[in-house]
Amino acid sequence: MFRTLFVQEARTQLRRNAAVLGLGALLAAGFLVLWWFFARVPVLSSLLQMGMLVCLVGTPLVIGVQVAAEYWSSMYGRRGYLTMALPVRGRALYLAKALYALLVGLAVTAAVVAGIVAWAVVSALAMGADAATAWGQVADVFGAMGPGWALFMVAATVLMVANLVLEVFAVMSIGAEGRWNHLGFGAPMIGFVIVYVANQVVSVVSTVLIPFGIDSRTGSVQTRIMLPELIDAVRTGAEVTYVGMGALIAGPIMALLMAWWAIRSIEHHTSLR
Q: For position 129, what pLDDT does the model report? A: 67
Q: Which pLDDT belongs to residue 2? A: 84
Least confident of 3-17, 57-71, 179-193: 179-193
Q: What is the pLDDT of residues 211-259, one digit of tens each?
A: 888 887 777 777 888 888 788 878 887 777 788 888 889 999 999 999 9
Cβ proximity of 175 and 191 under 8 Å: yes
Query: Is it the case that residue 99 has pLDDT exceeding 80?
Result: yes
Task: Flag whether pLDDT at 139 surpasses 80.
Answer: no
Write the CB contacts of 182 (distance below 8 Å, at least 6 apart in sequence).
none
Does residue 270 register a pLDDT over 80? no
Q: What is the pLDDT of residue 113?
A: 92
Please check the confidence at residue 154 and state whether its pLDDT lies above 90: no
The whole model's pTM is what? 0.88
The pLDDT value given to residue 103: 96
pLDDT at 131 over 70: no
User: Taking the domains of the chain in order of start, what are their residue ranges?
Assistant: 1-145, 146-210+245-272
Q: Which residues touch 102 (CB under 8 Å, ≥6 apart)?
A: 161, 162, 165
* pLDDT exceeds cutoff 80 at 140: no
Q: Which of 85-94, 200-209, 233-242 has the lowest mean pLDDT?
A: 233-242
- Indicate whether 114 pLDDT > 80: yes
130 pLDDT band, cuts 50/70/90, is: low
Cα 102 from Cα 165, distance rounded (Å): 6
The model's pLDDT over 2-16, given as tens digits with 9 standing for 90+, comes to: 889 899 999 999 999
